[in-house]
Amino acid sequence: MIKTENLSKKFNTTLAVDNLNLQVDEGEVFGFLGPNGAGKTTTVRMLTSLIGPTSGTAIVNGLRIGHQDTEIRRTVGILTETPGMYDNLSAEFNLEIYANLYEVKDPKGQVEKYLRMLGLWDRRQDEAGTFSKGMKQKLAICRALLHEPRILFLDEPTAALDPEASHLVHDFITELRKEGRTIFLCTHNLDEADRLCDRIAVFKTHLLVVDTPSNLRSQLFGRRVVFHLANSNETIATSIRSLPFVREAKVVENKLLVNIDDPETHNPEIIRILVGNGADIQFVGELRHSLEDVYLQLVKNA
């Protein structure tokens, strides 16, 4: 659905995007993470044909940026970072304008469909300027979907939203994914990326890594198993640390935390050693590293 080849963008002397190569598959929710100023918005703008690349190229929905820009804009939807609406026009009229600009066949029908879907139908005659941030964001999502794009670019869709509004947006993204749409999600919200994305890219001017959140966790930290012990001590940790498949082992209060790549294979051996060393195991579980750990590690190393 989206493929970039050495995509680069330079503003005067500032390199915003450096040789970006990535591929996003159809129906995938693809998270694009990076710190402020990393070039995420610039990348989205290039992929939606709002600005041109300095070098390299990209194919979006089978169309080449810089050559078929109007076609690309016709087939993708975008929720911009600051989703400006015409504040003194009604919500309905705001959407009708865009439905016409996107050449939607049944503008009124589509407007009604999305206003109802996002719970704004009863407020359709109200000026957009009277809406809360969450409602404006929902209105902007409606706008991005009016022409039923197969690819949707969402730039910080839950920024500055309260938890309830964020939850609603998350649910909606999940619904869109079920419809088989491809979603390119730029976000700072790592929990959001973790929950919604099939794969994530961590980006800071150039691409740092692309993988599924769980693979990234395993690659960076392995998997972490927690053994709750009635009588944990450093000696037990030392014996476990000496095992060749253990990346790290440490004692925190009455818990022994062990990082390993393959708990299903190696847990029985660890348990045998613990029992052999006189440990009383109360229960065993797996602790997930947060995506934040992964992200911070990657960005720090970059």
Partner 1 sequence: MNKIKTIIRKEWAEVFKKRMVLFTVIFLPLFLSVLPLIILYGMGGSSTATSTSGVPGQLQQFCKTSMTAGECMQYYIVSAFLIMFMLIPLFIPVNIAAYSIVGEKTTHSLEPLLATPITTGELLAGKNLASVIPAVIATWAGFGIFAVGSLIITRGGALASALLDPMWMIAIFLAGPLLAVLSVNFSIMVSSRVNDPRVAEQLSAVVILPLMAVFFGQIAGLFILNSTLVLVICLVLIMLDALMIYLAVRLFQRETILTRWK
Smallest gap from Cβ 72 to partner 1, in A, equals 9
Residues 137-196 that bind partner 1 (CB under 8 A): 140, 143
Query: Between 48 and 218, whose beta carbon lies closer to partner 1?
Result: 48
36 touches partner 1 (CB under 8 A): no
Residue 102 interacting with partner 1 (CB under 8 A):
yes
Residues 238-267 contacting partner 1, CB under 8 A: none
Handedness of CA 132, 81, 212, 203 (dihedral sign): negative
Smallest distance from the beta carbon of 92 to partner 1, in angstroms?
Answer: 12
Q: Which of 101, 117, 273, 302 touches partner 1 by CB under 8 A?
A: 101
Give yes or no for a contact between 43 and 203, defined as CB atoms under 8 angstroms apart.
yes
Q: Closest distance between partner 1 and the C-beta of residue 52, in Å?
A: 7
- Token pair belonging to 87: 């504040």
Residue with tokens 């970039």: 4
Helix%, strand%, coil% for the chain, nearest 5: 40, 30, 30
| Single-letter amino acid code for the residue at 76 | V
The interface region with partner 1, picked from 46-54, 185-193, 224-232, 244-252 by CB under 8 A, is 46-54
Cα(73)–Cα(26) distance, rounded to whole angstroms? 18
Question: What character string, x for contact with partner 1 (CB under 8 A) and - otherwise, covers 61-100?
Answer: ---------xx-xx---x-x-xxxxxxxx---x---xx-x
Picking from 229, 265, 225, the residue whose alpha carbon sits closest to that of residue 248 is: 225
Cα–chain-centroid distance for residue 102? 26
Q: Residue 270 in contact with residue 229, Cβ under 8 Å? A: no
Helices (H) and strands (E) in the chain, counts: 11, 14
Rounded CA gap, 224 and 219, in Å?
12
Which residue lies nearer to partner 1 by CB, 74 or 113?
74
Q: Which of residues 270-289 bind partner 1 (CB under 8 A)?
A: none
**Binding residues for partner 1, how many (CB under 8 A)?**
29
Which residues contribute to the site for partner 1 (CB under 8 A)?
11, 45, 48, 50-52, 70-71, 73-74, 78, 80, 82-89, 93, 97-98, 100-103, 140, 143
